Structure 1
Amino acid sequence: MLNWTRHRRAAVAPVTAATLLLLTACGAQVQPQSGEGTGTTTVNRCGEPVEYTVPQRAVVYEGGSADKMFALGLTEHVHGYVMPPANPPVSESPWASEYEKVEFLSDDLLNRELVVDAGADFVVAGWNSGFSDSRGITPEILDTLGIQSFLHAESCFNYPGHPERHTPFDGLYTDLERLGEIFGVPDRASKLIAEYQDKVDAVREQAPGGDPVPVFLYDSGTDKPLSAASQVPPNDIIRIAGGTNIFGDVDARWFEASWEAVVEAQPEVVIILDYGDQPAEDKIAFLKNNPVTANIPAVEQDRFFVLDYNEAISSPRIVDGLEKFAEYLRDDVRHG
């Protein structure tokens, strides 16, 4: 994954100790609310309890952040989105009609000036793919500006100071639950999570038997390949579908591997990560023409599966990516 290093507040309701509800699943304390758009909520942000008022002008970075908000029916709380070139066109999103209702702010990297100029009261992004020490936009900096922020739980693995660890799919569920609490729509979030969990369970039940198929995810790179380790969604996609990630024992997120390690693992399937400025066709051509990789089983047998960028980052669309890859393993690989 490329390292894209990709204030109005609602009225605060009175707090009483008797009315606080402890949400152990995601570390949230919630005041009873009269409806969406009111109240305050304390929710963990990568292990750090943070008090939120209901945002009205959210800025979302990349498709995963936007899609979580849209999937929860929170479009009216989104002021605009920032979409770097890696992301496929928003017209291809299942929520294309929701993108049309909010403002396109920039195709640049997330930065403090953009957020301030937009009058944002809430920013949703991941750590290092959005929030960044080097670019001077971190949750702590935004706190000092009175701008609330939300970090994808999956990216807390790298977040300094207040780390949490989630498997990638559990990270998605955690994000939806926490956003549901912040915006006062917990029932909506619970229903959506249950729908996604049912789909994941159905894939798991249909996974082919026998030894798991070894799978290599190719993100980018020619001298060395950038690939997926254990802490990013493709690892869960591969595992739940019935394969095994050849770098699934690496305790990291996206990392630089070696071609020697790829060849040694003899992957039978290559997942190609497809995004804007590096088309899948070019990556496949490189693997076929590179003498180091031309003879690995997946390349020899032309077993390439193209995974959309937004099906590989923390997003509701990872469920779509799982279903598609599971079907590929069942039909094209096991019975091909």
Structure 2
Amino acid sequence: MTSRTRRTGLAFGVLAALLATGCGAEVADSAEPAATVTVPRCGEEVEYRTPQRAVAYEGGSADKLFALGLTDRVHGYVMPPANPPVTESPWAAEYARVEMLSDDLLNKELVVDAGADLVVAGWNSGFSDQRGITPQILDQLGIQSFMHSESCFNYPNFPQRLTPFEGLYSDLERLGAIFGVPDRAATVVADLKARVAAVQARAPQGDPVPVFLYDSGTDQPFTAGAQVPPTDIIRIAGGRNIFADLDVRWSQVGWEAVTSAQPEVIIILDYGDQPAQEKIDFLRTSPLTRELPAVRDNRFFVLDYNEGISGPRNVDGLEKFADYLRTLS
């Protein structure tokens, strides 16, 4: 998964409250947005100019911009092979209106060549010390950057901790402020929150079903820890991620830990380049997993890659998984 490889002018000080609350600033939309606005980038206060040529890395970043009606401000996107085809996206028409810049990993040369004035990605999922593209490096080049909140908990010097769904709401509100469309962002967030509340109201009662998310790996499985959206999806729907105690985003674990947890449901993360059926076949035949309750009972749920990384499609994945869990009650 590519998420693991997976700034004077007028400033709106009230936006600093986003750090703690995840709430957006109450700034009226207008045809002439403020020249600059101060918004937290992870835990750091950053002054943003209104972007006109944004570059998005992966589906979650692009989806957030498209959901806010910002297609005209998106110059292009970078989409590595793990992402399913953009033609399958609810925003397929929006993707068609902007340029696909690369099907490889994000890099500095690409965004410079694109004339980007904002890059939207995650820390260690797009931005990377090892690959030489970080917010600090882009700052020096005069290119703005925005990081997904769910990736900020271990961002050096400016960590921030929000639950994954709180991070999603915060990201949409912050992007709404940066682009001068806070009212639009508030509407999008209110709709997502209402859908989440509807799922919570119908969640099965009783002990949560133990759930294992299988990302990839045969010698050692790669799975979801506490800091990524699938853990919130599982919890809100009425289940329990057996690795929710791991204070990480994505991590390798041992098969012994999986078998001792005896998961009753397995979520398969479906990549564009690692089909779900291949992973299911492995779990059914491996002596390490074939006797797990979820495998014996054929309780597999396929979660689309873009429903598992931070973006508005997280709520689509939540609704689908909640529907599935209710069939087991």
Question: Residue 30 of structure 1: CA displacement?
Answer: 8.8
Post-superposition offset of 1:35: 2.6
1:326 to 322, 325, 329: 322
Distance 2:268 2:317 in 1: 12
CA distance in 2, matches of 1:240, 1:29: 27
Q: Which residue of 2 aligns with 1:292?
A: 288
For the structure 1 residues 328 and 183, does the alpha-carbon distance in structure 2 shift closer, same or farther, using more than 3 Å as the test? same
With over 3 angstroms needed to count, the CA separation of the structure-2 counterparts of 1:166 and 1:259, relative to structure 1, is same
In 1, Cα distance between equivalents of 2:97 and 2:2: 28
Q: Give the aligned residue type for 1:64.
A: G
C-alpha deviations, 1:7-57, integer Å up to 9, x for none? xx9xx8x54xxx845135415889877535542100000110000000000
Percent pairwise identity: 69
**One-letter amino acid of the counterpart of residue 134, structure 1:** Q
Q: Give the partner amino acid of 1:98.
A: E
2:253 maps to 257
Cα contact 1:20–1:32 (8 A) shared by 2: no
Q: Which of the residues 161, 166, 169 maps onto 2:165?
A: 169
Q: Residues 20 and 240 of structure 1: is their aligned pair in 2 closer, same or farther, counting only changes over 3 Å? A: closer
**Structure 1 residue 90: Cα displacement:** 0.2
Q: Is structure 2 residue 195 aligned with structure 1 residue 199?
A: yes
DSSP-derived class of the 2:152 partner: helix
Find out whether 1:73 has 2:65 as its counterpart: no
Q: In the aligned structure 1, how far is the partner of 2:16 from the partner of 2:47?
A: 16
TM-score (norm 2): 0.95
CA distance in 1, matches of 2:142, 2:225: 35
Out of 122, 127, 132, the position equivalent to 1:131 is 127
Counterparts in 2 of 1:29 and 1:200: CA distance versus 1, 3 Å: closer
In structure 2, C-alpha distance between the alignment counterparts of 1:32 and 1:294, rounded to whole Å = 56
Whole-angstrom CA distance in 1 between matches of 2:192 and 2:3: 28
Structure 2: how far apart are the matches of 1:325 and 1:80? 31
Change (3 A) 1:53 1:29: farther
Inter-partner Cα distance in structure 1 for 2:56 and 2:272: 19
* Alignment match, 1:187: 183
Is 1:83 aligned to residue 79 of structure 2?
yes
Is the 1:57–1:77 Cα contact (8 Å) retained in structure 2? yes
What do residues 190-224 of structure 1 show as CA deviations (whole Å, max 9, x unaligned)? 11100000000000010011111000000000000
Contact 1:33–1:39 under 8 Å retained in 2: no
RMSD: 1.8
Could you list the runs of 5+ residues in structure 1 that have no partner in the other structure?
none
Out of 18, 27, 31, the position equivalent to 1:26 is: 18
Alignment of 1:269-284 (within 5 A): 269-284=265-280
Q: Does the CA contact (< 8 Å) of 1:208 and 1:242 recur in 2?
A: yes
Q: Distance in 2 between matches of 1:78 and 1:158?
A: 28
5+ residue gaps, structure 2, are none
Instruction: Find out whether 1:230 has 2:222 as its counterpart.
Output: no
Is the CA contact (8 Å cut-off) linking 1:56 and 1:121 kept in structure 2? yes
Seen in structure 2, the aligned counterparts of structure 1 residues 270 and 248 have a Cα distance that, compared at 3 Å, is: same
Q: 2:111 aligns with which of 101, 112, 115?
A: 115
Deviation at 1:5, TM superposition (A): 3.4
Q: Is the 8 A contact 2:35 2:50 kept in 1?
A: yes
Query: Is the alpha carbon distance of 1:295 and 1:97 closer, same or farther for their aligned partners in structure 2, counting shifts above 3 Å?
Result: same
Q: 1:123 to 1:30 in 2, by over 3 A?
A: farther
The AA in structure 1 aligned to 2:85 is: P
SS at match of 1:295: coil
**TM-score (normalised: structure 1):** 0.93
Measured in 2, the distance between the counterparts of 1:36 and 1:111 equals 32
Residues 21 and 29 in structure 1, CA contact (< 8 A), matched pair in contact too: no
Q: Is the 8 A contact 2:2 2:126 kept in 1?
A: no
1:246/1:114 Cα in 2 relative to 1: closer, same or farther (>3 Å)?
Answer: same
State how far apart, in whole Å, the 2-side matches of 1:79 and 1:65 are: 13
CA distance in 1, matches of 2:315, 2:308: 10
What is the alpha-carbon distance in structure 1 between the residues aligned to residue 12 and residue 279 of structure 2?
53
* Equivalent-residue separation in structure 2 for 1:178 and 1:286 (angstroms): 41
Partners of 2:3 and 2:126 within 8 A in 1: no
* Inter-partner Cα distance in structure 2 for 1:330 and 1:283: 24
Change (3 A) 1:192 1:3: closer
Deviations 1:272-305 (A, max 9, x none): 0000111000000000110010001000000000
